[in-house]
Amino acid sequence: MRRLFKIRWIAALLVVAGAVCFLSFKSGDSRSFQIAKNLDIFNSIVKELDMFYVDTIDPNKTIREGIDAMLYSLDPYTEYFPEDDQAELEQMLKNSYGGIGSIIRYDPKLKRTVIAEPYENMPAANVGLKAGDILLEIDGKDLLGNTDVSKLLRGQVGTSFKLKVQRPGTEKPLEFDIVRRSIQLPFIPYYAVLDDNVGYINLSTFSGNPSKEFKQAFLDLKKKGITSLVIDLRNNGGGLLEESIEIANFFLPRGKTLVTTKGKIQQASNTYKTLREPLDLEIPLAVLVNGGTASSSEILAGSLQDLDRAVIVGSRTFGKGLVQTTRPLPYGGTMKLTTSKYYIPSGRCVQAIDYEHRNEDGNVKRIPDSLTNVFHTAAGREVRDGGGVTPDISVKQDKLPNILYYLVNDNLIFNYATDYCLKHPTIPSPEQFEVTDADYADFKAMVKKADFKYDQQTEKILKNLKEMAEFEGYLADSSEEFKALEKKLSHNLDRDLDHFSKDIKNMIAVEIIKRYYYQRGSIIQQLKDDDDLKEAVKVLGDQPKYKEMLSSPAVSTIKKEK
């Protein structure tokens, strides 16, 4: 009887406790209740749409769009990858994928996809595909109007397919048997010894395992007698945090704290230190950066700056101070989500955009410089958080002319390079090649024959100014001045092609050279007149100035005006 009473008493307590939990849960104070409530609402909405909406909905498409919109409201780095998209995620993490190894692009005029740039030593290049080849069929399937040919080209490593292309300058289509393989994009597309024994390493990514190749390249340069080193991180969008620490460790002592991550849960908060003996603690370093330098690239550049180990040259970096990890989901899916922020040795976080506090319209803005905080390097130099890594030597960046954008967008430079390659089986080395005046005359003739049109921003602005002047009653008194200005700003293709010939010639040279020497060749061409590199070589060649910049807190950012 006593045992029965005890059981009933416990049961009564459980009922009361359950009622209290339910009331508390239902009260809305619990985050668990809010999540359960909104999931229930979302589930009901989908069911109602499926049952009553006038048209049949595609549940995969509708729900995926809802998921993507939800994640994008957080930050652009938190993404959902269903089972079918795992290859895309793997490419992002490992810098590799199963395919043919070529950049392709869709030409809306042809309504077909064109080979834009085969990668060196990859299946596309090895079987003989060339830039300019027009893709006609894959395994007999016509590709006309297909804007997503990349999905057909990619696939399981070792599988094969037949590709039919039309090559400009040939009458009959060409057929190729291609076997897909794991495409590993080059970690270091180019390294060399420049003038005055300055080493140069172009590092394109931190995905995969680039530290191994970087080490080999650096040791090879050391054997060749370099006395200083330039590390080019421009347009390097990052990758694995551990890889940036490994490369920084080549030039920093063992046991240095380089990165601290802080997140909501304990597993997201870590401290990363250099774990190995360095390769070289003395060699002078300069690091090239720009607005495309992001994430792990900023960790490397920022750590070397904070520890006064390298002079940073170029323009302010992107400002991505967020760390992502992956989480498995049901049905073979994966979510890549932001779990922490990272802080480099001075204690600063370089995150430039505050995604948590959006404008009323949902847009985000960079954190203004006035709201950033001052930190200090190991030597006491001032650096700031909240806006990427600001270079020690800021180089004013050239603005590309408006006409060049339209020449590239209309494929005129690409098509000229294709025609040029048909007429020239070989060209000189990238170091020696140049677009001659005769070549440029041929290019100008092709542009004119194509009836090339492009917008001039001055004409647009002048038209808007004239309309505003008329609206405010000033046009009548200034009509002669407007006429004179319109005459001076009239559309003149010959003038613009001549005036901007230097930039256009350089773009033509890049497009031609990479047809013969691939990515390595295009980098060599772009380095021929590179203001960032010039400044880096200059400061490395002036050792007293180099040491002063890394030791004196009084030295402020040098602005190089052109």
Residues designated catalytic: 295, 306, 320
Query: Locate tokens 């289509």: which residue?
Result: 173
Distance between CA 369 and CA 349 in Å, rounded?
A: 14
Burial label, 279 (beta-carbon count in 10 A; 0-12, 13-18, 19+): middle
CA torsion angle 94 99 102 108 (round to 10): -120
CA torsion angle 85 88 93 99 (round to 10): 130
Distance between CA 233 and CA 292 in Å, rounded?
A: 9
Strands 270-273 and 285-289: unpaired
For residue 494, give every residue at least 6 positions away whose Cβ sits within 8 Å of its Cβ, in sequence order, or none.
Answer: 444
Sort residue 552 into left (φ over 0), alpha (ψ -120 to 50) or beta: beta
Distance between CA 117 and CA 432 in Å, rounded?
A: 22
Direct distance between the N- and C-terminal alpha carbons of the chain, in angstroms, rounded to an integer: 97
The DSSP-derived string for 446-511 is HHHHTT-----HHHHHHHHHHHHHHHTT-TGGGHHHHHHHHHHT---HHHHHHHTHHHHHHHHHHH
Q: What 3-state DSSP class applies to 232?
A: strand
Distance between CA 54 and CA 56 in Å, rounded?
A: 7
Q: How far is CA 487 from the centre of its chain?
A: 42
Residue 310: how many CA atoms within 13 Å on its side-chain side?
29
Distance between CA 416 and CA 459 in Å, rounded?
A: 28
The DSSP-derived string for 35-61 is HHHHHHHHHHHHHHHHHHSSS---HHH
The count of other CB atoms within 10 Å of the CB of residue 362 is 8
Distance between CA 378 and CA 382 in Å, rounded?
A: 10
